[in-house]
Amino acid sequence: MKYIYITTPIYYVNAKPHIGHAYTTVACDVFARFYRMLGYSVKFCTGTDEHGKKIEQSATQAKIEPQKFVDTIAQLFKDLLPILNISNDDFIRTTQERHKKTVKHFWNILEDKGYIYLGEYSGWYDMRNEAYFSEDELIDGKSPLGGEVQYMTEPCYFFKLSEFGDKLLKFYEENPDFIFPAQKKNEVISFIKQGLKDLAVSRATFNWGVQVPNDLKHVVYVWLDALTNYLTVNGYPDNEDQNNDKYWQTVHHFVGKEIVRFHALYWPAFLMAAGINPPKRIVSHGWWLSEGEKMSKSLGNVQDPKKYCELFGSDALRYFMLRELSFGSDGNFSLEGFINRHNSVLANAYGNLCKRTLSFIQKHCGGTVKRPETLTSEDSSFIGDVDASLSEAIPLMEQYAFSKYLERIEQAISLANQYIDYQKPWSIKESDPKRMQNILFILLEQIFKITKFFYPIIPIAAKKVLTQINAPYELKIVFGEKIPDIVTINEPETLFPKIETTELEKLDVFAND
């Protein structure tokens, strides 16, 4: 058995989820479904990051107890999962007892091994915004947030990050694929080459966090707390020997580009210090922009994934997100772009191909088709081309090239549409019904194969099509798969109704409540 462990970042619960959060989760879900289809045992986890000053402040502003505040928002993230049709195995919240236990255990190990020490943190403190800044961050003697600053020193625990520069560089060299894409790796390397300072890993100016063991004045730095979630969901510390754990050896952390440093530098350093192997891969993706700006609540340009799913279905949103952005790059999220892709590919190219083939079989073959005894050279080259496109798709998914994977599927769909348009089965229904049925059988078998490759992205529609085709199937990728020699199909139905652009004004996809 092969294993893979896939994680999303855990989401901050200071605002409700938007398209950007949905994106990381959907990409991981597609990856998880694909690996299940390749026969792997998959562990796929997501969750929420609930501690820290920002969250404490948001709760205070909302005049709600922090625990109540995080309960409400964490629930919104949890509720979004079935709406997006996410197949996660666990949902972790950093306020859960199981997690606090892991963080404390991990802290104790780092401390016992001599990597944590009590020191003093000094810097320019902006009292109004409760944040430290270094000299070179100040603007006209004030903090970058506009507050008055004073030089302050306070006790703080440090992690000996400065000891890990060479070890990390050696690790990246020995594991050249550790960070995807490569350009992100270069950024991390040049950051290390500037020299690593020890990292402050506790805070004593607020208390919404995991208590530092044996020093109740301090809470654990939110990133050390949050990163440890990946061990909690893998059963640590009860499952202590992570280096021999089948899932841990394969862990893929999917993250947005702005949090690569935390995952590719701090996290491996913490793990190395604790004697645990670093993750296998950090897979970083770009941002969804809205008119050139990163979506953010404060800019009022965030779009609500729930609304898209309610209006158009989760399959359509999943497809658009993975097709539109080349993984790793930024891109614009627009309703127009969404509708274009939906109508041209899902409704037209794929939806119509399935509908017209199945309806034709229903109407002119009594719902049953048989495998042809012989194939023409055109049939064979059509089948060969579809197989070639699909076989090219597999390594693309393995390299996180979701959009290119979908391009290959679309190529196979367009081959099928060309075949049907060229063969014109409707034109020979009187003169050569046998040839007509042969054409339809061949089409049906190709639709079956294409649909299975499409399944990780559009699981609801794909299952509908597989049910309509009525051939026994397993959700496995089997190369050059065949349907039985005689197939009687079920009632065909429309998969993706075309979205009429005249309806656009009625749609409000911005999350403004």
Judged by the rule CB under 6 A, the positions of this chain that interact with ligand MSP are 9-12, 20-21, 23-24, 49, 226-227, 229, 255-256, 258-259, 287-288, 294-295
> Which residues share a beta bridge with 93?
48
Q: At closest approach, how far in Å is the CB of 101 from ligand MSP? A: 17
Give the residue at shortest CB distance from ligand MSP: 256
Q: At closest approach, how far in Å is the CB of 233 from ligand MSP? A: 11
Encoded tokens for 328: 């790793």
Q: At closest approach, how far in Å is the CB of 287 from ligand MSP? A: 4
> Which of residues 41 and 403 has its CB atom nearest to ligand MSP in the complex?
403
What DSSP element (H or E) covers 35?
A: helix 19-37
> Which of residues 99 and 452 has its CB atom nearest to ligand MSP in the complex?
99
Question: Under a CB-based contact definition with an 8 Å cutoff, are residues 263 and 282 in contact?
Answer: yes
Q: At closest approach, how far in Å is the CB of 113 from ligand MSP? A: 22
| Local structure of residue 142 (DSSP, 8 states) | B
* Alpha helices per DSSP H over 194-303: 222-227, 229-232, 260-261, 267-274
> Which of residues 287 and 338 has its CB atom nearest to ligand MSP in the complex?
287
> Which of residues 324 and 410 has its CB atom nearest to ligand MSP in the complex?
324
> Which of residues 208 and 419 has its CB atom nearest to ligand MSP in the complex?
208
User: Rounded to the nearest 5°, which phi and psi values hold at 485?
Assistant: -70, -25
> Which of residues 49 and 379 has its CB atom nearest to ligand MSP in the complex?
49
> Which residues share a beta bridge with 149?
126
| Local structure of residue 500 (DSSP, 8 states) | P
> Which of residues 40 and 262 has its CB atom nearest to ligand MSP in the complex?
262
Torsion of CA 246, 248, 250, 254, to 10 degrees: 150
Q: At closest approach, how far in Å is the CB of 288 from ligand MSP? A: 4
Q: At closest approach, how far in Å is the CB of 284 from ligand MSP? A: 8
* Cα distance between residue 334 and residue 291, in whole Å: 8
User: Rounded to the nearest 5°, which phi and psi values hold at 466?
Assistant: -65, -35
Distances in whole angstroms, Cα of residue 65 to Cα of each of 28, 250, 413 = 32, 39, 53
- Can you tell me whether residue 315 is helix, strand or coil? helix
> Which of residues 104 and 408 has its CB atom nearest to ligand MSP in the complex?
104
* Cα distance between residue 130 and residue 417, in whole Å: 61
Where would I find the beta strands (DSSP E) of 127-214? Answer: 131-133, 149-159, 179-180, 199-200, 202-203, 211-212
Q: At closest approach, how far in Å is the CB of 190 from ligand MSP? A: 21
Give the distance from CA 38 to its chain's centroid: 18
Taking the CB of residue 333, how many other CB atoms lie within 10 A of it?
A: 25
Q: At closest approach, how far in Å is the CB of 290 from ligand MSP? A: 8
Q: At closest approach, how far in Å is the CB of 478 from ligand MSP? A: 34
Sheet holding 331-332, edge to edge: 293-294, 288-290, 331-332
How large is the C-alpha radius of gyration of the chain?
A: 27
Q: Largest alpha-carbon pair distance within the chain?
A: 92
> Which of residues 226 and 499 has its CB atom nearest to ligand MSP in the complex?
226
* Cα distance between residue 248 and residue 253, in whole Å: 11
Q: At closest approach, how far in Å is the CB of 23 from ligand MSP? A: 5
> Which of residues 71 and 385 has its CB atom nearest to ligand MSP in the complex?
71
Question: Under a CB-based contact definition with an 8 Å cutoff, are residues 420 and 413 in contact?
Answer: no
Give the distance from CA 439 to its chain's centroid: 39
